[in-house]
Structure 1
Amino acid sequence: MDVVALIGRILFALLFLGSAFGHLAKADAMAGYAASRGLPQPKLAVLGSGVLMLVGALLVLLGIWIDLGALLLVIFLIPTAVLMHPFWKETDAMAKQNEMIAFQKDIALAGAALLILALYAGYGSELGITITGPLF
């Protein structure tokens, strides 16, 4: 099961590593989208969320304080779902559907990150191949 847990961590982290790269490499373009959603200091928000995803994903991927890494991803995902994908505000049916899918994806990923946090905080290095035990 250790290998299965490691593969699961790798697959989970890859999504966030790709997104973090996009946030950091294309900050100006992404800041325009964040500004259209009404975020104050949109470029700072994009860069900050990119760093949050990068650090969280690397911790989960590498097996270093996985519980902290998962918590950082939850801290990114919940506000992102609410602030960037408010499907309840959309009037166009297609836009509403797209935002609802993005919202539900972020909430589901937050749930998975919470599960990772709970499992690794509870079982520590007994679960999967890790470099350190849990921080919490």
Structure 2
Amino acid sequence: MTRPADSLIIFIARILLAILFLWGGAMKLLGYAGFIGYLHSRGVPYVQVAAPVVIAVELLGSLALIFGVRMRAIAFLLAVYAVVTAVLGHDFWNVTNAAQQQEAAVHFWKNVAIAGGFLLLTVTGAGRASIDGMRAPRGGLRG
């Protein structure tokens, strides 16, 4: 059981993590052709399948974060997603230009740090300020 202050902090963390993925998913959807081109340039296989899956993960994952739905499972999925996108999209070890390598390294470690935040949500759950929190049984006498 979490204290009200803990739930507020968990709620703020969920919102802050959701902003990044909501924005990213929306920009990918609005610039779909450019996103498809980017995936092709990265050598992603099955781009016509991968692109909608990525957008769905980002948009639906963001909504699940905001509302606190199935938080432990969603947070774990988003942690894995953040690491996979770090490895596939920010492979600084393959970049030869020093400035681009530095930028890719920053984005790689940013994704790894975001995965850490998601792993914390996997452990803590969504807190009381969530749909999960409303579904959770409360202590006390029932009668």
Q: Assess same fold via TM > 0.5.
A: yes
Could you list the structure 1 runs, at least 4 aligned residues long, displaced by more than 3 angstroms after superposition. none
Match of 1:71 in 2: 76
Contact 1:56 1:71 in 2 (8 A): no
Alpha-carbon distance in 1 for matches of 2:104, 2:91? 7
Superposed displacement of residue 75, structure 1: 2.9
Alpha-carbon distance in 2 for matches of 1:5, 1:115? 10
Q: Which of the two has higher C-alpha Rg?
A: 2
SS at match of 1:106: helix
Supply the AA of the counterpart residue of 2:23.
G
Superposed displacement of residue 25, structure 1: 2.1
Structure 2 residue runs of 5 or longer lacking an equivalent are 136-143
Choose the corresponding residue for 1:117, options 101, 109, 122.
122
Alpha-carbon distance in 2 for matches of 1:75, 1:49? 13
Alpha-carbon distance in 1 for matches of 2:42, 2:61? 24
Please, what TM-score do these two structures have when normalized by structure 1?
0.86
Q: Does 1:131 align with 2:136?
A: no
Match of 2:27 in 1: 22
Match of 2:138 in 1: none
Q: Does 1:57 align with 2:62?
A: yes
Superposed displacement of residue 70, structure 1: 0.9
Structure 1 residue runs of 5 or longer lacking an equivalent are none
Supply the AA of the counterpart residue of 1:57.
S
Superposed displacement of residue 3, structure 1: 2.2
Q: Does 1:88 align with 2:93?
A: yes
Superposed displacement of residue 61, structure 1: 0.9
Supply the AA of the counterpart residue of 2:98.
A
Superposed displacement of residue 42, structure 1: 2.3
Supply the AA of the counterpart residue of 2:129.
I
Alpha-carbon distance in 2 for matches of 1:106, 1:4? 21
Match of 2:141 in 1: none
Q: What is the count of residue pairs matched by the alignment?
A: 129
Alpha-carbon distance in 2 for matches of 1:128, 1:95? 42
